Amino acid sequence: MAKVLLLIENNYEDTEALYPFYRMQEAGHKVTVVGAHATTYLSKHGYPLKAEKTPKEIKVEDYKGLIIPGGQAPDKMRIIPEMVRLVRDAFDKGLVIGAICHAAQVLIEAGIMRGKKATCYISVKTDLINAGGTYLDSPVVTDGRLITSRHPGDLPDFCRALVEMLSE
């Protein structure tokens, strides 16, 4: 069993947070929801998800993975220094990082895309390339311990790749 962080912010894409949240638990992993504040966040469609911890309460070395859902949440997360720092620390410590859809915005802000192959929602493609990444139009792209996907339709492939890498 691995311990996994799921980052959250208002206007997250429902399926891109909830599908991995439950799929990781189904695989036996412990998921901790992390937000800038220990409060309840609402999805694009009003589904509530409570952040159990804030970035300041997280010791990255205690976890094996970190997942960032898409929607409009990444645009909000990327301007919160503590959230960006948590992603950067997770990358530096070698955690498995999963990012789907617009979540690449947080990876870009954390400065971890240079030289990486990845995919994301098409509207973020140019940002990914400008950050030094190589964009691939594929349901899932794995580069080292970084796993990325484009949109909700890719969730089965995205979660399968996460479960496989977290089980190693």
Query: Read out DSSP for the chain?
Result: --EEEEE--TTB-HHHHHHHHHHHHHTT-EEEEE-SSSSEEEBTT--EEE--B-GGG--GGG-SEEEE--BTHHHHHTT-HHHHHHHHHHHHTT-EEEEEGGGHHHHHHTT--TT-EE---GGGHHHHHHTT-EE--SSEEEETTEEEESSGGGHHHHHHHHHHHHT-
* Tens digit of each residue's pLDDT (9 = 90 or more) over 97-137: 999 999 999 999 999 999 999 999 999 999 999 999 999 99
Range of the domain at 66: 3-166
| Band of residue 22 on the pLDDT scale cut at 50, 70, 90 | very high
159 flagged as catalytic: no
pLDDT at residue 134, as a whole number: 98
Is residue 37 part of the annotated active site? The answer reads no
Domain count, the chain: 1
pLDDT at 36: 98
CB 1 within 8 A of CB 30: yes
When the pLDDT of each residue in the chain is averaged and rounded to a whole number, the result is 98
pLDDT for the residue numbered 57: 98
Give me the CATH number covering residue 40: 3.40.50.880
Q: How many CB atoms lie within 10 A of CB 13?
A: 24
Query: Which is the catalytic residue, given 29, 37, 101, 151?
Result: 101
pTM (two decimals): 0.98
For β-strands 65-68 and 134-135, DSSP reports them as unpaired
Residue 142: the pLDDT is 98
List pLDDT tens digits, range 43-77.
999 999 999 999 999 999 999 999 999 999 999 99
User: Which among 102, 120, 151, 159 is annotated as catalytic?
Assistant: 102
